[in-house]
Amino acid sequence: QVQVIESGGGLVQAGGSLRLSCAASGRTSRRYAMGWFRQAPGKEREFVAAITWANGNTYAADSVKGRFTISGDNAKNTVYLQMNSLKPEDTALYYCAAKIYLGNIYSPTTYDYWGQGTQVTVSS
């Protein structure tokens, strides 16, 4: 089993920044990637960004490219999501997830372990 715990959410004004952290613990020796997803009220969960552990490749949704940056610390089994130039439409519950196997890195259905989520609220 792998436990995933997010932190760093909060309330920020539009144009501001936040950094989310996600720590994985437990049986982390088998892991392919970590990803961030978000879900706003009444909407489906959507992909935000991901990073593969083997080579550090990163992926980001078009809606956050140029504003959000994902990074990882292999030794700490921790990933970060630096969010800059935040917009009210970025308001959502942000989830971190661990992916053990290969597969569509953009799809939440291919991730194996999920955190409880951390709320990000951007005021206008």
63-121 residue pLDDT tens: 999 999 999 998 899 999 999 999 999 999 999 999 988 889 999 999 999 999 999 99
**Neighbouring C-beta atoms of residue 40, cutoff 10 Å:** 14
Rounded Cα distance, 72 and 70, in Å = 7
Confidence of residue 44 (pLDDT cuts 50, 70, 90): very high
pLDDT score at 49: 98
Question: How close are the terminal C-alpha atoms of the chain, in Å?
Answer: 40
pLDDT score at 103: 86
